[in-house]
């Protein structure tokens, strides 16, 4: 994992099928200062419902294009960009402070362990 906000980190992402139309994603990032990010996400066909250590409540991100999810009603602009190419999962957080430019702040790339 790497990014402007996160720096270099190690990540663990565990994906589980919940139903025929929903997945759960548990994501942890650990850097030189210890645990940096903890996230539990429920992914449906059209949205992500995210509980993360940096967010005060569960935040819904609506899909606006394949792999692009934009937050509903958060205090600052936020997006998650997700992709799966058959070999690796990429999960990138984009945000800005109010009035700033939205940009990628962290990116995790994980390969499956079976």
Examine residue 1 and state whether it is found in any structural domain, yes or no. no
Per-residue pLDDT band at 56 (split at 50, 70, 90): confident
Structural domain of 44: 10-105
Percent of the chain with pLDDT over 90: 51
- How many structural domains is the chain composed of? 1
The structure's pTM equals: 0.85
> Would you say residue 5 lies in a domain?
no
pLDDT tens for each residue of 9-46: 688 889 999 999 999 999 888 888 888 889 999 999 99
Q: Cβ distance 72 to 53 under 8 Å? A: no
Is 3 inside a domain boundary?
Answer: no
Strands (E), the chain: 10-19, 22-31, 34-43, 47-52, 59-65, 68-71, 78-84, 89-95, 103-110
In a domain, 114, yes or no: no
């Amino acid at each position: 994992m790497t990014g402007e906000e996160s720096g270099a980190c190690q990540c663990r992402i565990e994906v589980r099928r919940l139903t025929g139309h929903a997945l759960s994603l548990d994501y942890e990032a650990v850097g030189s200062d210890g645990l940096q990010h903890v996230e539990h996400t429920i992914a449906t066909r059209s949205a992500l419902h995210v509980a993360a250590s940096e967010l005060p409540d569960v935040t819904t991100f609506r899909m606006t294009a394949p792999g692009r999810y934009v937050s509903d009603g958060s205090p600052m602009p936020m997006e998650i960009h997700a992709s799966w190419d058959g070999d690796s999962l990429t999960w990138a957080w984009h945000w800005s402070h109010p009035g700033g430019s939205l940009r990628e702040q962290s990116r995790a790339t994980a390969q499956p362990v079976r």
